[in-house]
Amino acid sequence: MSPSTIEQKLQALEDGAALKTLVDTFSNLADTKDVTAQLLLFTEDATVSSVSSGQPGSSFKGRKEIGDAFAGYLANFETVYHINGQQTVELNGDTATGTAYCLVVLIADEAGKKIKNTSGVTYHDEYVRRDGKWLIAKRTSNFAWRDRQELGQ
Render each residue's pLDDT in the chain as its tens digit; 153 residues: 566 899 999 999 999 999 999 999 999 999 999 999 999 999 999 999 999 988 899 999 999 999 999 999 999 999 999 999 999 999 999 999 999 999 999 999 999 999 999 999 999 999 999 999 999 999 999 999 999 999 985
CATH for 6-150 is: 3.10.450.50
According to DSSP, the residues that pair with 48 across neighbouring strands are: 60, 139
pTM given for the model = 0.92
Residue 121's nearest CA partner among 84, 149, 66, 151 is: 84
Distances (CA, A) of 119 to 61, 64, 77, 83, 141: 24, 26, 14, 11, 11
Task: Give the domain ranges of the chain.
Answer: 6-150
Alpha carbon 119 to its chain's center: 13
